[in-house]
Each structure stands twice: as structure tokens, then as C-alpha cells.
């Protein structure tokens, strides 16, 4: 028996590949899994789910305001300002929209 045969074969995937697969495995079906997806860095999936449910009567304007703020913050933290900018108008009121606009403008200026 060779030295390689003495040890059981393990998954030969890199850590990066494993992380990517773990990201892909998150199924978003409620607010908690949406937040888990954001924490795991699955921003595209979280954003897609938010778009899918934004007109669901189960989720009101206040809920949408809070979730859109969470996804916007995550995109900002990831340096994806253009993606974050899409969530300005999700704010429930004018004060919230202005605050989001100011944040995006400030980040655009920092990145120049």
C-alpha cells in the first residue's frame, strides 16, 4: 500500500471553492435567511430575494425600508456603491431617502 493509499481521500477543493459552494447553498425564504445571506456575503442572492418579495403583502413598507437599508449597507461595505445606490428610493420617507443619498454621495466622493 502506498503512502497516499494509507490515508482516506478528502475533499480536494480549495478553501475558496468550498466557501463559494457554501454561499450558493443558502436558500432565502424569510427575513432571517435574508440576513444570514447578507452576513455570508451572498449579496446578489439577497438582493434578488428582496426584489421578488417587495410587493408581497406579507411584507409592509416599514419592513422593506429596514431590509433595503441592510442590503444597501452591505453593498456599501463591500465597495459596491452602484449596487447600493439602487436602494435609495426604498426608504419609507423623504428623510430616509435624503440620508441614503448623502451616504452614497459621500462614498462616491471618497472613491474618486
Q: Summarize pLDDT for 6-62 with one digit per residue, the tens.
A: 544 444 555 555 455 554 556 899 999 999 999 999 999 999 999 999 999 999 999
Distance in angstroms (rounded) separating the CA atoms of residues 91 and 84: 12
Q: What is the pLDDT of residues 83-98, one digit of tens each?
A: 999 999 999 999 999 9
Domain extent listing, the chain: 29-110
- Verdict on whether the full-model pTM lies above 0.85: no
In CATH terms, the fold of domain 29-110 is 1.25.40
Cβ atoms of 28 and 37 closer than 8 Å:
yes
Amino acid at each position: 500500500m502506498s503512502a497516499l493509499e494509507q490515508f482516506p481521500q478528502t475533499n480536494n477543493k480549495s478553501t475558496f471553492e468550498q466557501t463559494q459552494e457554501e454561499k450558493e447553498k443558502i436558500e432565502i425564504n424569510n427575513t432571517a435567511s435574508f440576513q444570514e445571506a447578507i452576513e455570508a456575503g451572498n449579496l446578489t442572492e439577497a438582493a434578488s430575494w428582496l426584489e421578488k418579495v417587495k410587493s408581497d403583502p406579507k411584507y409592509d413598507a416599514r419592513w422593506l425600508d429596514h431590509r433595503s437599508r441592510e442590503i444597501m449597507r452591505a453593498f456599501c461595505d463591500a465597495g459596491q456603491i452602484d449596487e447600493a445606490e439602487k436602494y435609495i428610493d426604498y426608504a419609507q420617507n423623504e428623510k430616509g431617502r435624503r440620508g441614503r443619498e448623502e451616504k452614497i454621495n459621500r462614498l462616491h466622493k471618497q472613491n474618486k
